[in-house]
Amino acid sequence: MKTERREGDSYTDRLFHWLQHVEHIPISFEKMIKPKVYKVRYNGEPMILKGYRRAQTLHQQIDFFKHWNYAHQTAARPLPFEENVYTKSKLGCEWGLFEWLKGKHADFEKHTDREIAIKVLQQFHRTTKGIAVLAIPKDPLYIKWERRLEQFESTRDVFFDYRKNVVFDEIRESMLRHLERFANHPWGEVEEKAWENHEWLHGDLAHHNFIIHRKTNIKLIDFDLLHTGPRVYDEIQLAQRFLPYIEGRKASVLHYFQHVKDQDLWLKGVLVPADLLREWLYGYRRCVRGEASYMRHIKKLEKSWESRKMFVRYTENML
């Protein structure tokens, strides 16, 4: 079988030499998905091999999945290298094996994919509540967004260099206003209740973390940001992932998430344009590395913001 290995990739070579010839694991390289994430063959079966700088991130997932009775229906599970051995340490990483799921990534432009993504998220929330394993602490969502706003503000000069200061000021003002409204909720009480009830969040609901097989069978992958917290955080994040495709049809947004218990709180979170800042900062770093054009990236943000403003005005009236 022809493999996709970058020439001179000594790190990959050393890793697989160690696994095969020192640990005597029946594993073979198939292709690199991204740094420290490989598609492999283990006893001829396709799997994912993933390396973690923070061993705790992998160990939490393994412990969590051992207690999740419905994992086989909902997610790509960790797998052992050998009986009861789920991790191997080498080259500064803790390595784990995961199921390889046959299928395609969800396409949030499609109504059917959005519907089944919501369905599997609800199933995840319902079947994991009460799993009492040690969770890696995470900051409340508004704290995360406050840090993102600070990072956005640090890029102000780029907007002024390209005479797009109006775009910067509008987005910043909207972020400040809606973030303040969202942060004023008594999150301490909500977070404490979620911890007491062992409510789990996936934390990274991008389209590529939903794998669809045979149109209706969908599972979640990549639980690196798994943590306990109020499930409304996941519901806000997924809604924001949907927004670029449905914000022109405002009623659709509400329809998909009519199951959310506290609609007002959820809407306040959806209105915070933190997702636009996330995309801007990701592209900005690529521009800094010379991989993309500043002007093109600013125009992309400007277009997204013009579309978002219409949705924000409509939704603010509901609140």
Of 70, 100, 130, the residue at which a domain comes to its end is: 100
Can you name the residues that pair with 34 across neighbouring β-strands?
A: 37
Is the domain of 41 the same as that of 67? yes
Alpha helices in the chain (DSSP H): 10-17, 55-67, 71-74, 111-128, 141-153, 156-161, 165-183, 187-196, 232-246, 250-256, 263-271, 274-288, 294-318
DSSP annotation of 107 reads -
Full-model pTM: 0.93
Q: Are 269 and 238 in contact (CB under 8 A)?
A: no
Is the domain of 293 the same as that of 262? yes
Domain count, the chain: 2
To 5 degrees, how large is the angle CA 229–CA 206–CA 111? 110
Is the domain of 154 the same as that of 247? yes
Whichever domain contains 281, its CATH number is 3.90.1200.10
**133 falls within a domain:** yes
Is the domain of 58 the same as that of 93? yes
The tens-digit pLDDT sequence of the chain (319 residues) is 444 555 348 999 999 999 999 999 999 999 999 999 999 999 999 999 999 999 999 999 999 999 999 999 999 999 999 999 999 999 999 999 999 999 999 999 999 999 999 999 999 999 999 999 999 999 999 999 999 999 999 999 999 999 999 999 999 999 999 999 999 999 999 999 999 999 999 999 999 999 999 877 899 999 999 999 999 999 999 999 999 999 877 778 889 999 999 999 999 999 999 999 999 999 999 999 999 999 999 999 999 999 999 888 888 776 6
Whichever domain contains 52, its CATH number is 3.30.200.20
In this structure, which amino acid lies at residue 42?
Y
Is the domain of 124 the same as that of 178? yes
Range of the domain at 77: 10-100
Cα→Cα distances 223→62, 253, 267, Å = 10, 25, 25
Of 100, 129, 149, the residue at which a domain comes to its end is: 100
